[in-house]
Amino acid sequence: MKTRSFIKGFDLKSKMKTSRPLAISTILLSIILFLAITTGLLTDREPLKTGYAPGLTAPTSEFPMGTDQLGRDVFTWTLYGIRTALVVSVVSTSLTVIIAVLVGLPAGYFGGKLDQVLMRITDFFLSIPRFILIIFAVIIFSPTLANIIMILSVFSWPSLARIVRAEVLSVKEREYVQAAKVIGSNSFDIMFSEVLPNVVPPMLVASALQMSDAILAEAGLSFLGLGDPNTASWGRMLSIARQAIYAGGWWTLLFPSVFITATVLAINLLADGLNDILNPKSVR
Amino acid sequence: MPSGTREYLLKRVVISCLMIPAIIVFTFLLLRLAPGDPAVMMAGEGATPDFVEMIRKVYGLDKPLYEQLAIYMSKLLTGDFGYSFTFKRPVLEVILDRVPTTILLAGTGALIAIAFGVLLGVVAAIKKDSFTDSAISSLTLILYSIPIFALAQFLVLFLVIQYRLFPLSGYVSLGVSPSDPLKFTLDVLWHLVLPASSLALIQMATYVKLTRTSMIEALYSNYIIAARARGLNSRRILLRHALKNALLPIVTMAGIQLGLIIGGVVITETIFSWPGVGRLTIEAIDARDFPLLLGIFIFTSVSVVVANIVTDIVYTYIDPRVKLR
C-alpha cells in the first residue's frame, strides 16, 4: 500500500518506522479520536447532569469510572472532555496560526519599518505573563467557550509569528522567489504562493506544541473556576476532585488526569516526531 | 566589560523600560474594550454608588479618552495602584505583602528544577542511547505533559492524605511564630516541600532536555575531542569544559521560564493555599476586586520585564561572546 505523504519528498511510512515518538503518538491519537467520535455510543448519560448516583460512588460496572460528590458520571464527563479539548486545541491553534501568518509573513517579507513595528508589538505580547493576561481577559469578557478560544488565540500568536518571520527571512532570498519577482508577480502572490508553502514545515512543530498548550490553558482556567460552566472540561473535573480525594474519591482525580495527560502527551510526541522528520540532523 | 557590551545592554534596558508604559496603555485599552461601565469595574463589584462616583471623578472617567489615559498613567507611574475594597488597603501594599512568600515558593521551585534537571540531563547525555537515557527521556516527557493541577493533587493524595507526611496547606502551622526562628524556618520549609516540588516537577523537563542537547553537542565538539587527545581526565573534561558551556543556555531558559511559570504559581498557590500573589489573584477574582486584579496584572508584567533585564545583564557577564547584536 502506498502512503500519501503530506510533505513533498517525504515517505511517511518509512519515517514512521524511524521515528518512535511519531508511531506512539499516532496510536494514542487514534484511540483518542476514536473515543471522541464514538462518545455518544459509549454512554447515553449527560456529562454535567447530577444525581446519577446518591453521592461519591466508587467505580462499578454501572459507573465504570465512579461518580463525583453530586452523582455526576465520571466516565461520561471524561469522554465528553475529549471533544472539548480537541475543539479548544484545533480551533484556537488555527486562529493562532492565522494571526501569526498575518503578522510574521509581511514583517519578514517587506522588512523595514513595517517589520520593526510588528516585531515590537510581538515582543510586547511575548514579555507579558500570558496566563495572567488570559485570566484578566476572561474576567473582563464573559467566560463562554467561544470567548476562551478567542482569548487563547489572541494571546498565543507571538512566538509563532517570530518563527514565521524568521523562516520568511531565509526563504525570500532563494532563487525561486527572486525569479517570481523578476517575472513581475505581485508581492501578494509571491508571499502566499511562493513563500508561505515553504514556511509551513517549520510551523508544524510549533503549532503542535501550541495545541497541547491550549488544552492545558483551557483546563487551567476551568480548574480555577474561570471556564465555561456549560462545557465538559477536564479542568473542572479536577477542581471537583480537590474535595473528593479527601473523601477517598481517588477515581475523580485519576481518570481525568490520565486522559488529559495522554492527550497532551500524544500531541507533544507528535511535535517530537515532526521535529525528527523535519530536522533530521538535530540532536536526538 | 568588553567595549560595545555597555551600549548593547543600555539599549536593551531602554527598550525594556519602554515596555512598562506600553503595558499600562494596553491594560487601559483592554479595560475600555470591556462591556459595562468602567467606573463600576474600577470600583469593584459591590461598591456603593457614592464610591463609584468618586472613582469616576478621581480617574476622570467622564473626560475624553486621552485625558483618562494620562490620569491613569500618571497615577500608576507614581505608584498609586488604587484601593482594594476587600482588604481596605492600597492595592500596592496588599501585593507587596504577598511578594516574599511567592518569591520563596517560585525561587525554591526553580532551584530544585534546575538542580535535578541539569543532573538528569548530564546523566542522559553521558549515557546517550542507553536504557537510562530513554528512561530519563520518557519520564521527562510524561512530566512535561501532566498538568500541574493533576500532578499536585496526586502528591496531596499520596503524601498528605495517605501517609500524612506533609501539612495540607498554608505556609506555617498555627501557633508557630517568627519569635522562634529555628522552629519557624523548619516549619515553613516543611510546608514548602510539596508546592515547591510540584512547581519544580513541571519545569524540570525543559531543563533536562536543554542540558542533554547542549551536553551532547559539547561532548562531540572539537575542543572536547582536543582535551581528550591531550589526555585530560574525563571527569575534569566533563565538568570544567563541557558542562560549563552547556550551562549557558540554562540562564536564558531560566529567564524565559519565569514568565511561563506564573500560571503554574497561581495554580500551585491555590491548591496548597500558599499565601502569595497567585493565591491573591484568585481571591481578587472571587471578590471581583478589579483594582486589585489590575494591580496584580501590571505588577507581574513589570516584574517579568525587570527580570528579563536582569537575565540579559547576567548573560552578558557570563558569556564573553555576547557583544553588540
What is the ipTM, given to two decimal places? Answer: 0.86
Residue B40 is predicted with a pLDDT of: 77
Confidence grade of residue B53 (pLDDT, cut at 50, 70, 90): confident
Residue B322 pLDDT grade (very low, low, confident, very high; cuts 50, 70, 90): low
- By three-state DSSP, how is residue B90 classified? strand
Distances (CA, A) of A167 to A112, A170, A171, A195: 16, 5, 6, 9
Mean pLDDT, chain B, integer? 84
Question: B120: distance to nearest CA of chain A, Å?
Answer: 16
CA distance A213 to chain B (A): 9
Q: What is the pLDDT of residue A228?
A: 94
- pLDDT confidence of residue A283: 58
Half-sphere exposure of B44 (CA within 13 A, CB side): 23
Over the stretch B280-306, which tens digit does the pLDDT of each residue have? 999 998 887 888 888 898 889 888 888
> Do the Cβ atoms of A272 and B22 come within 8 Å?
no
Q: Which of B35, B150, B300 sits opposite A261 (nearest CB)?
A: B150
State in Å, rounded, how far the first CA of chain B is from the last one.
Answer: 15
pLDDT the model gives residue B265: 93
3-state secondary structure of B231: coil
Q: Which residue has the cell 474594550?
A: B33
pLDDT at A124: 87
**Grid cell at residue A213:** 498548550
Q: Find residue B90's DSSP bridge partners.
A: B83
* Tens-place pLDDT, residues B84-105: 878 889 999 999 999 999 999 9
**Which residue type is seen at A137?**
A
CA distance B300 to B281: 11
* Contact yes or no for B203/B109 (Cβ under 8 A): yes
Put simply, the answer to whether B153 touches A264 (Cβ < 8 Å) is no
Pick among A117, A135, A255 to test the B interface (most B CBs inside 10 A): A135
pLDDT at A189: 84
Q: How large a percentage of chain B has pLDDT more than 90?
A: 29
Write the pLDDT tens digit of every residue in B150-192: 999 999 999 988 888 888 777 888 777 788 888 888 888 999 9
User: Residue A10 has what pLDDT?
Assistant: 53
Distance (Å) from the C-alpha of residue B267 to the closest C-alpha of chain A?
7
Nearest-by-CA chain A residue for B307: A127
- For A28, B12, B236, B255, the CA distances from B310, given in Å and listed in that order, are 42, 11, 31, 9
The whole-number pLDDT of residue A1 equals: 40
From A193's Cα to the closest Cα of chain B, the distance in A is 33
Provide the pLDDT for residue A4: 47
A133/B145 CB distance under 8 A = no
- Flag whether residue B23 sits within 8 Å of chain A, measured between CB atoms: yes
Nearest residue on chain A to B18, alpha-carbon basis: A124
Q: Which residues of A touch B252 (CB under 8 A)?
A: none
B145, B258, B280, B289: which to substitute to probe chain A, counting the most A Cβ within 10 Å? Answer: B145
- Please identify which residue in the block is written with the cell numbers 508604559: B21
- CB-nearest to B157 from A220, A226, A250 is A250
Structure confidence at residue B242 (pLDDT):
78
Measured from the Cβ of residue A249, the count of other Cβ atoms closer than 10 Å reads 23
Q: How far is A220 from chain B (nearest CA, A)?
A: 8
Q: Do B153 and A242 touch (CB under 8 A)?
A: yes
Residues of chain A neighbouring B150 (CB-CB closer than 8 A): 238, 253, 256-257, 260-261
Strands B89-90 and B83-84, bridge-based pairing: antiparallel
Q: Which among B150, B262, B293 has CB closest to A129?
A: B262
Residues B240-250 have a mean pLDDT of 78
What is the pLDDT at residue A57? 86
Q: Are A33 and A25 in contact (CB under 8 A)?
A: no
Residue A213: its pLDDT value, please?
Answer: 93
pLDDT at position A18, please? Answer: 67
Quick check: B150 and A238 CB within 8 A? yes
Cell 487601559 maps to which residue? Answer: B28
Whether B30 sits inside 8 A of A212 (CB atoms) is no
- Residue A257 backbone phi and psi in degrees, to 5: -60, -45
Q: pLDDT category, B269, cuts 50, 70, 90? A: very high
- Residue in chain B closest to A250 (alpha carbons) equals B157
Distance CA B59, CA B152 (A): 42
From residue B14, give the alpha-carbon distance in Å to each of A39, A119, B2, B8, B323.
Answer: 55, 16, 20, 10, 17
- Amino acid A3: pLDDT: 44
- No. of helices (H) and no. of strands (E), chain A: 12, 0
8 Å CB contact of B263 and A132: yes
Contacts of A265 in chain B (CB under 8 A): 141-142, 145
Rounded Cα–Cα distance for residues A172 and A178 (Å): 7
Which cell goes with A243? 474535595
Closest Cα of chain B to A45: distance in Å? Answer: 25
- Which of the residues in chain A have pLDDT under 50? 1-6
* Cβ-based burial of A30 (10 A; exposed 0-12, middle 13-18, buried ≥19): exposed
Mutate to test the interface with B, among A88, A124, A128 (most CBs of B within 10 A): A128
The radius of gyration of chain A's CA atoms, rounded to the nearest angstrom, is 22
Residues in B 292-311 with any Cβ partner in A closer than 8 A: 293-294, 296-297, 300-301, 304-305, 308
Phi-psi region of B231 (alpha: psi -120 to 50; beta: other; left: phi over 0): left
- Give the CA distances from residue B325 to residues A40, A168, B6, B8, in Å, rounded to whole numbers and listed in that order: 57, 20, 12, 7
Tell me, yes or no, if A238 comes closer than 8 A to chain B by beta carbon.
yes
Q: Do B287 and B86 touch, CB atoms closer than 8 A? A: yes
Q: pLDDT grade, residue B194 (50/70/90)? A: very high
| Record: contact B305-A269, CB cut-off 8 A | no
Whether B124 has its CB under 8 Å from any CB of chain A: the answer is no
B33 touches chain A (CB under 8 A): yes
User: Closest Cα to residue A120, out of B252, B86, B22?
Assistant: B22
Nearest-by-CA chain A residue for B285: A139
Is residue B325 scored above 60 in pLDDT?
Answer: no
Please tell me if residue A260 touches chain B, with a CB cutoff of 8 Å. Answer: yes
pLDDT top residue among B49 and A110 = A110
